[in-house]
A and B are shown apart, each in its own frame.
Chain A
């Protein structure tokens, strides 16, 4: 039976949340892990706020939430990688102090990260030995470890050749090594952070078999994920987090996918006042046409898999989806930064696949990248230099190889004024600006470049509310100037607020396209999680 509690007071978030509390209390002996009042601050943000969480023995707990909800942070605190600012941790009914992963391991807690901590050039045995170095089992001989790896592998269906080199294993097998590392150290509570993000469906099935076997042996698993269908398949209990707090806690029987989607994505979405008053031009000419695009990710798998979409002039096309479904590879391919394996990209009828970055810039395609520090800016250059970073060869800014300082300065002054960039002068190094102002520099530059198409990926990541609002208004202005805008964001609220049409990306394809008026949050949320209405439940 569910009971709705009072909304928690939260100093920084204005919306209200519902908190579901299970009325049946959990017996003390059944508690493997209990987190009480965990709070963690990072500069400029609250990662976890007064989080209570319990993990029973012999259960699989799914920790569900969007990117940035605070799930990983919470588990990293449990695993000793972060120190909580407030709160307590109890293991097996005893209060403990976990200050390092070694402490966690000695208490029987293991963690499988999204990014493996493996040494690729070493064998499986060597990796296991290394991870167990500071434990008593680290003194074993290579053959002893190999034997035990084989035994554990057989017991749980995680067979791996102990003497294989990790860099020759598939990602799925590498994950097995990570799990074996934890099991070898004697973990009884296994934390898995988005483990299926890198797995094929078949490997996912095998992983779930392992999880069930592991649970049968009386151990616990905390399964961090954002994929609803998996939660329904594997979890016993589900805890939903959003913005650093727990927003819901249900058992599997009580949960339905729709309910979970709503808890994850937030009820307030239905109350969003659409920030763009005028209608987008849904009848303009198609400017950008993507046909059956195939792009490989850095890791080698096909991140964009026969993706097609059309964007019209004077329209904002928003792509909603959980990160890791091919968005960044799509954006990079459109802007010439990543090679394309197949398909076409037609810009005003011309195929721009395979063209150099400079050429694509000259075709008027602007690109606001997801990571402005790594790609969008040169932090140690000043504002002027960053503003011309992608167009310094143009006649406006240089003649015969010499930079036209005066022109550049004027241009920078104009941009600073137009975009209200807060800086003492245009000669200040961009490194010293706030995140919001840095992004304004990127936006100013790309708005100028984009005469036909503007691709914006996560344009408001890490920005404060004022900067977010400014960027949004800029995108709307671009739309009114007749540009075709592709907005890629994992913030569903942002996509919903700005887009005229919304395409949901899942596993490298656009699985569904909505017009803004027809968009229903539930439907979009489900599509994002890979559940389509065509599937039988």
Chain B
């Protein structure tokens, strides 16, 4: 029972990480880092909650989260792709801004409620028969819709990236934008589109925390998990399947940490269990000698004069 619970928790906790990391893979393959990921997660969580609360419909909440991410991405993309400003500097500015902005706009909408506002979080959708499979059944087939979406996204992402013309262009843009330019494709447009898509997805991923899990919105709801999604993209070697493995590993670490904390098993201090994902990232970053980093990641593309 405990193991099943942990597995189910693992898959659930890995969902937003998976969505965020997939989005990051997509955009980094074109050569742009979406450094605003943590901030967009937060904005997605906020927008999702506000939308769901005001309209009493989680569906609208999710849509608003996607839209909010899209809008932020539009500005971030403009600064980094077209104005060619530094991605890390711009992203950090956005991250700082979103903390204040989400709190402020929450206040604008709701004032200071005496009791924290809540919505009914997404309920799990049990898939009949399959969810009865021992051990994995609950974990894989009794989750909320976002989790199922995330799985579909992995498959879809893999197929698009490696088996379609669009995916070819995306992959080529980060590997050698000159080759893409020589083929007559507008590099900036590809990158901007990728930023828009990834930001929209990041918004959705953030909404998982407020709508799919806790049913409320607080300042610390994301708590650095956007950065973990960012790291997973790295560690998964910019490949949807690698990202899937990475997200599950981190989700597992998260779920194990929760269960250790709630149980009496206190061999390792709590704090280090919480820090496990981050330590994992450091170790993996160092250990991995052979990253398939997109060759032109982080470099703005400047066309040669004619």
Contact = CB atoms under 8 A, between A and B. Distances in A.
A129 B178 contact: no
Residue of A81, A133, A134 ringed by the most chain B CB atoms within 10 A = A133
Contacts of A139: 165
B169 interface: yes
B8 interface: no
Interface string A122-141: 10001101111110001100
Contacts of B178: 117
Contact of B183 (A81, A82, A121, A134): A134
B176 A119 contact: yes
B185 A120 contact: no
Contacts of A127: 179
B290 interface: no
Contacts of B288: none
Given A81-B306, A83-B306, A101-B182, A118 B168 contact: no
A102 interface: yes
A72 B180 CA distance: 21
A133 B175 contact: no
Q: Categorize the interface residue count of chain A.
A: 20 to 34
Contact of B176 (A100, A102, A118, A134): A118
A130 B180 contact: yes
Interface in A86-143: 100-102, 117-122, 126-127, 129-134, 138-139
Contact of A117 (B171, B176, B292): B176
Contacts of B176: 117-120
B172 interface: yes
A122 B183 contact: no
Contacts, number: 55
A138 B171 contact: no
Interface string B285-306: 0000000100100000000001
B185 A131 contact: no
A250 B165 CA distance: 47
B168 A134 contact: no
A102 B172 CA distance: 18
B184 interface: yes
Contacts of B185: 133-134
Given A82-B306, A83-B306, A129-B168, A121 B292 contact: yes
Contacts of B295: 120-121
A81 B180 CA distance: 14
Contacts of B168: 122, 126, 129-130, 133
A101 B184 contact: yes
Contacts of A118: 176, 179
Nearest to A42: B305
Contacts of B184: 100-102, 133-134
A131 B169 CA distance: 10
Q: Categorize the interface residue count of chain B.
A: 10 to 19
B263 to A, nearest CB: 46
Interface string A304-332: 00000000000000000000000000000
A130 B169 contact: yes
Given A102-B184, A121-B292, A131 B179 contact: yes
A133 B182 contact: no
Q: Is the interface of A mostly helix, strand, loop or mixed?
A: loop
Nearest to A99: B306
A131 B178 CA distance: 11
A117 B182 contact: yes
Q: Is the interface of B mostly helix, strand, loop or mixed?
A: helix
A117 B180 CA distance: 8
Nearest to B171: A122
B194 to A, nearest CB: 16
Nearest to B178: A117
A102 B185 CA distance: 10
Given A119-B175, A119-B179, A121-B175, A133 B165 contact: yes
Contacts of A82: 306
Residue of A82, A119, A132, A134 ringed by the most chain B CB atoms within 10 A = A119
Contacts of A101: 182, 184
Contacts of B180: 130
A42 to B, nearest CB: 9
Nearest to B181: A117
A122 B175 contact: yes
Interface in A223-248: none
A132 B183 CA distance: 7
A119 B178 CA distance: 9
Interface string B157-187: 0000000010011011001101110111100
A83 B179 CA distance: 20
A493 to B, nearest CB: 29
Given A81-B306, A83-B306, A133 B169 contact: yes
Nearest to A102: B184
B182 A119 contact: no
A102 B186 CA distance: 13
A129 B182 CA distance: 12
Given A81-B306, A82-B306, A121-B292, A130 B175 contact: no
B306 A119 contact: no
Contacts of A129: 165, 168
Contact of B172 (A100, A119, A134): A119
B305 to A, nearest CB: 9
A118 B171 CA distance: 13
B183 A133 contact: yes
Given A81-B306, A121-B292, A131 B171 contact: no
A494 B179 CA distance: 37
B63 to A, nearest CB: 33
Contacts of A131: 179, 182-183
A133 B179 CA distance: 11
Contacts of A122: 168, 171-172, 175
Interface string A179-192: 00000000000000
Nearest to B176: A119
A83 B305 CA distance: 10
A130 B183 contact: yes
A118 to B, nearest CB: 6
Nearest to A125: B168
Contact of A138 (B165, B179, B182): B165
A70 to B, nearest CB: 16
Nearest to A118: B179
Interface string B67-80: 00000000000000
Nearest to A115: B178
A214 to B, nearest CB: 22
Q: Sorted from nearest, which 7 A-B pairs have the closest CB atoms?
A: A102-B184, A117-B179, A134-B184, A117-B182, A119-B175, A119-B176, A133-B183
Interface of A: 81-83, 100-102, 117-122, 126-127, 129-134, 138-139
25 contacts: A81-B306, A82-B306, A101-B182, A101-B184, A102-B183, A117-B176, A118-B176, A119-B171, A119-B172, A119-B179, A121-B295, A126-B168, A126-B172, A127-B179, A129-B165, A129-B168, A130-B179, A130-B183, A131-B182, A132-B183, A133-B165, A133-B168, A133-B184, A134-B184, A138-B165
Interface of B: 165, 168-169, 171-172, 175-176, 178-180, 182-185, 292, 295, 306
Given A119-B175, A127-B179, A134-B185, 8 more contacts: A82-B306, A101-B184, A118-B179, A120-B295, A130-B169, A132-B183, A133-B165, A133-B184
